[in-house]
Chains A and B, each alone.
Chain A
Amino acid sequence: MITLRGRLTQFNLPALERGPVIVRLSDRTDRPAPLSRLEAFIHHRGPVPGGFGWYLVKDAETLALLPEGAAAAVLSEDFQHLADGDVVRLEPAKGAIRTLFRKAVAYNHFLLTERCNNYCLMCSQPPRAVDDGWIVDEVLEALPLMDRAAREIGFTGGEPTLLGARFIELVQAAGSHLPNTALHVLSNGRSFATGSLARDLGAVRHPDLMLGIPVYADLAHVHDHVVQADGAFDETIRGILALKAQGVRVEIRVVLQEQTVPRLVPLARFLARNLLFVDHVALMGLELTGFARANLERIWIDPVDYQTELTEAVGILDRAGMKVSIYNSQHCVLEPSLRRFARRSISDWKQEYIPECAGCDAQSECGGFFTSAKFRYSRGISPIVKAA
């Protein structure tokens, strides 16, 4: 587990005189002056170059090595992972730092708003009705600073599309500033149902965009129950149709839980028949944070108890020629025939293994656990020992 936000131990006086800033880090001593003025030097060891806008150091002693009057912060233990090319927000007045972008990881994501029009039983990021429009400004400011070699970034929420025109602006900015970077957006798709937002999104012509949209059942009331919103199913389906009509790629996301497993096989058949043209189907294990933890008893089903349904559903989708993946699962509880569909989908900063995994030969292929799995995991967890 890696900490992405927290309080710094210390900003120095020149830092405290300056306001909050979004800044890219560099550890290069030969950085051209026009750039270094705009960047923060992250110090690991050795001499400290002059000319940087900011300095981040590992301990208070290093402050003495900095140029006269340089604004600086001492990183706490939690932030030693920060490195060249990362983008952070510094708030000297609050003594706070937030990691916005890490160059070393394959996937960085940005929560665009905490507001949502669904209220899912297993939401890992419970929505809040707050005015958080400042987040958009922050991401718009950070995007041009990010590494243009980044493989993929994500927009999440809340429901990002509630931002309306500002959402389109963000997608446009991502496509413009990171033209070689895939953009994955998590949305419930409902905002696209009437067609106009889908048209606007299609018109952006982002070079590599995918919308991940949940469909939890083939029956409207089952889906609506999971997302706790009447009429959501119809809007989501219409939204998917509108997006595909505009040439926007769509991934269907199904969370495997007590409410969705009974209709999983009919859902697979429904997808193959009605939404054959979507670009990917992800069948996902639970992440036990947020509402998922509060509703644990209501939503939990042990993965070993849904392998029959999962096998049939994956088979239907696969035989229909659809691209299908299983996320957030552990190899030892998956039917062996399903392991080739499993992806290592858990972000590194919240991925772990548990003591039962000791001695397992499949860890390098296995997705492992969310850090939150400590609250409940399958009774089927046991090491896979491969014959020598």
Chain B
Amino acid sequence: MAKFREQAQFDSSAQSAYTMLPWRFTPLDEEGYVATNMAGEYVTMSASEVSDFAGGALRPDQPIYDELKSRHFLIDDDTQVAIDLLALKIRTKLAPLANFTGLHIFVTTLRCEHSCPYCQVSRANDDKREFDMSEETALRSLDLAFRSPSPAIKIEFQGGESTLNMPIIRFIVAEALRRNETARRNLAFVIATNLAVLDDEILQFARQHDILISTSLDGPADLHNRNRPRPGKNSYEKAVEGIARARTALGHYNVGALMTTTAASLPQVRAIIDEYIRMDFGGIFLRPLSPYGFAIKTKSYASYDQKKWLEFFFEGLDYIIELNLGGFEFIEHYSAMVLKKMLTPLQTSYVDLMSPAGMGIGAVVYNYDGVVYASDESRMLAEMGDTTFALGNVHDHDFADIFLGDALLEPLEQSFAASVPGCSWCAFEPWCGAEPVFHHATQGDFVGKKPLSSFCTRNMALFRGLITRMEANPKVRRIFERWANIV
């Protein structure tokens, strides 16, 4: 039997200098730094480790050396395969771009019987059909939707209250199914509804075509009814009862709920979470409020700043972590989407955290009147008089005009965070988005100055908050690993 060699004989790390692969670092807290590689894998490092590594002075016997080597921050004489793996991870991250637009939002009507002050777009309920989508507009919108190369096409009906125009929803579903007999996409439908006018006939229709229901639930009755006024002051009761009916008809997991955060929400994050638990949801998306539409007009956006929202968010997150540590599984979805980027090679389809931005190529909006918008926020901006992100009209423009026109490509080209000042050297860039619509709305510029951007402030705090929590407690890390891998 030949002699076996010792491990040290296979370790040539010390034989020559290491080569750094692209990496970035950003302060994490008073003492430490967080460093990321090109694909978004991170390590926490001390200031002296950062300095040693950056200066080419890190020694193989320092424990951080192996961690940096394992996570593809460096290569040395031992191994070069890190470059293959890094390239593969970058390709994996960017691969979904080739699918192009997957989410197609159809605004069936602007009419709504709610009059929520934070709503960006709805019109008080009247019988004016001028705010309804016509069959002609629907057909031309479907032409565009099926031109998308995406193997999965999701059609989401929004409003107003989308179901106030059921005839067009039925028309679009029937027509999409007919076209899909030859188009052969993975076709799905979602109805976004406040559930207040949802009758059994609609549920029967939804059941027949496997249509998902997405609704609003802002928290406990007081808060919900205050946020979402309607005649009868019973929005909450309608929503709760509607969720139960919809689950019975469609199945528990086919009914989702989203909350909107307002100034009134801020002191009661636990009560909001408890409401979601009471309603038997598996998680909650603690959402920031967007700065568009009525939300700005009524000052409900300016009425609380990012700091207050962050306090609200982290109080909620810590409460949810506490529940999970106690054995009750419950997910915070904003964190889950960020953690997926931090801890897995995969991407989320959350358009706010896409780089390049998801506008137009992640989701697109066909308004009731045939105007095509790059995103939901784009149409809200248009309602305020700024039509920068109106990409065209289904009646006047074809697929190339709309999806290859300057109105979309200009902001998209400026939405690669990796090439943006303030982002290109940020360690959090691999996880972050670009949000050209937001920065245009708030700063009049697709890129914006990041130190003035509340989007940047919020996400930086979120990234740091998630990292410090999982670095401090391995049990939290395990919970986060689970969240990161929910689909």
Chain A contacts to B: CB under 8 angstroms: 119, 121, 126, 218-222, 224-225, 228, 230, 233-234, 237-238, 241, 259, 266, 269-270, 272-274, 276, 291, 294-295, 298, 315-316, 319-321
Contacts and interface: CB of A to CB of B under 8 A. Distances in A.
A276 to B, nearest CB: 6
Contacts of B6: 225
Nearest to B67: A266
Contacts of A222: 7, 10
B230 interface: no
24 contacts: A219-B69, A219-B78, A220-B79, A220-B81, A221-B10, A221-B12, A222-B7, A224-B10, A225-B10, A225-B11, A228-B4, A230-B10, A234-B81, A237-B81, A237-B84, A241-B84, A259-B7, A269-B70, A273-B71, A274-B85, A295-B4, A315-B478, A319-B484, A320-B344
Contacts of B89: 273-274
B13 interface: yes
A307 B482 CA distance: 21
Given A219-B70, A319-B482, A320-B481, 15 more contacts: A219-B79, A220-B10, A221-B7, A221-B12, A221-B13, A221-B79, A225-B5, A225-B7, A228-B5, A233-B81, A237-B85, A241-B84, A273-B71, A273-B89, A273-B343
Given A218-B70, A221-B7, A225-B7, A276 B344 contact: yes
B66 interface: yes
Give the interface centre of B9, B81, B85 by most chain A CB atoms within 10 Å: B81
B4 A121 contact: yes
Tell me the interface secondary structure of chain A in the complex: helix
B485 interface: yes
Contacts of B2: 119
Highest count of chain A CB atoms <10 Å: which of B11, B12, B70: B70
Contacts of A273: 41, 71, 89, 343-345
B80 interface: yes
A253 B441 CA distance: 53
A321 B485 contact: yes
B1 interface: yes
A319 B478 contact: yes
Given A221-B11, A274-B345, A291 B1 contact: yes
A294 B4 CA distance: 11
B302 interface: no
A220 B78 contact: yes
Nearest to B81: A234
Interface of B: 1-2, 4-7, 9-13, 41, 66-67, 69-71, 78-81, 84-85, 88-89, 343-346, 478, 481-482, 484-485
B287 to A, nearest CB: 25
B66 A241 contact: no
Contact of B88 (A224, A234, A241, A266): A241
A51 B342 CA distance: 71
Contacts of A294: 1
- Residue among A221, A241, A259 with max Cβ neighbours from chain B (10 Å): A221
A219 B66 contact: yes
B74 to A, nearest CB: 12
Nearest to A126: B1
A237 B10 CA distance: 17
A225 B88 CA distance: 26
A274 B67 CA distance: 15
A193 B343 CA distance: 27
Contacts of B344: 272-273, 276, 320
B79 A319 contact: no
Contacts of A291: 1
A238 B81 contact: yes
Contact of B84 (A220, A221, A238): A238
A241 B89 CA distance: 12
Contacts of A219: 66, 69-70, 78-79
B375 to A, nearest CB: 30
A-B residue pairs, 10 tightest by C-beta: A220-B79, A221-B11, A234-B81, A225-B7, A224-B10, A319-B481, A221-B10, A218-B70, A220-B78, A225-B10
Given A272-B344, A291-B1, A321-B485, A234 B41 contact: no
Contacts of A269: 70
A156 to B, nearest CB: 20
A228 B7 CA distance: 9
A274 B88 contact: yes
